[in-house]
Amino acid sequence: MTTTASIRSAPPLSTVRRAGDLLFVSGQLPRGPGGDIVPGDIVVQARRSLANLEAALLKSGASLKDVVKVTVWLTDVAYVDGFNQAYREAFQEPYPARTLVVSGLVAGDVEVEAVALAPSLAPGRP
User: What is the share, in percent, of the chain residues with pLDDT greater than 70?
Assistant: 87
Residue boundaries of the structural domains of the chain: 15-117
For 88, other C-beta atoms within 10 Å of its C-beta total: 11
Classify domain 15-117 at the CATH class level. Answer: alpha beta
C-alpha–C-alpha distance, residues 86 and 43, integer Å: 6
* Percent of residues, the chain, with pLDDT higher than 90: 74
**What is the distance, to the nearest Å, from the Cα of residue 5 to the centroid of all Cα atoms in its chain?**
23
For residue 58, the tally of other CB atoms under 10 A from its CB is 11
Per-residue pLDDT tens digits for 73-109? 999 999 999 999 999 999 999 999 999 999 999 899 9
Q: Is the pLDDT of residue 120 over 50?
A: yes
Read off the pTM: 0.86
Residue 16 or residue 89, greater confidence = 89
37 and 30 Cβ atoms separated by less than 8 Å? yes
| pLDDT score at 121 | 53
State the pLDDT at residue 55: 96
pLDDT at 112 over 60: yes
Identify the residue with better confidence: 40 or 2: 40
Give the per-residue pLDDT at 86: 98
d(CA 48, CA 44): 6
* Phi and psi angles of residue 40, each rounded to the nearest 5 degrees, phi first: 135, 175
